[in-house]
């Protein structure tokens, strides 16, 4: 199947106030995008992800970005304890030390919208967290390994060949 069939394009005609169109054109130029259509598609994707955040049953992927004061490890310990209750939703974590005893942590997450929002709210309650933001998308990560799952055909053939 060709990629064209998967990403079929549809035309849309939109009427905008002239000042809004000027602002859109300025944004397209500043980002060096090839067309207004690309910018409008990105804005629609953001709006759809934000809309789906409000639907508790929607499964979303995304990131939670935190800025916090490291203060002698107490905050890191509290964050780790909070995160341990969400081990199914947290795929990975990246931590970077910043200046002035601050830390930046980015969590890659996937799960029901309501659960991701609750995770974000619980992290926000940790004293020392200065900023937190959840950014989501409706595009999901491919299925991860599960315990007891059958081996992939490639792994089975490699296993047989080594016997």
d(CA 116, CA 124): 12
Question: Cα separations (Å) of 10 from 34, 37, 41, 63, 73?
Answer: 18, 11, 11, 30, 53
Task: Give residue 1's pLDDT.
Answer: 43
Residues 75-84: tens digit of each pLDDT = 999 999 999 9
Q: Residues 59-137: name the CATH superfamily.
A: ACT-like. Chain A, domain 2 (3.30.70.1150)
Q: Which residues of 144-161 are buried (b: 16+ CB within 10 A; e: fewer)?
A: eeeeeeeeeeeeeeeeee
Instruction: Give the global pTM.
Output: 0.65
Residues 55-102: tens digit of each pLDDT = 667 888 999 999 998 776 889 999 999 999 999 999 999 999 999 889
């Amino acid at each position: 199947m060709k990629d064209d069939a998967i990403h079929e394009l549809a035309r849309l005609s939109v009427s905008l106030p002239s000042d809004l169109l000027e602002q859109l054109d300025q944004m397209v130029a500043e980002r060096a995008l090839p067309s207004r259509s690309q910018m409008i598609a990105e804005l629609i994707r953001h709006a759809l992800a934000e809309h789906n955040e409000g639907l508790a049953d929607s499964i979303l992927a995304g990131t939670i970005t935190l800025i916090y004061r490291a203060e002698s490890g107490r905050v890191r310990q509290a964050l780790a304890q909070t995160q341990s209750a969400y081990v199914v939703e947290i795929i990975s974590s990246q931590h970077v030390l910043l200046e002035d005893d601050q830390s930046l942590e980015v969590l890659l997450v996937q799960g029901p919208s309501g659960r991701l929002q609750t995770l974000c709210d619980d992290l926000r309650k940790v004293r020392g967290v200065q900023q937190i933001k959840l950014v989501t998308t409706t595009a999901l990560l491919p299925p991860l390994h599960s315990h007891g799952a059958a081996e992939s055909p490639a792994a089975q053939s490699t296993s047989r060949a080594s016997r």
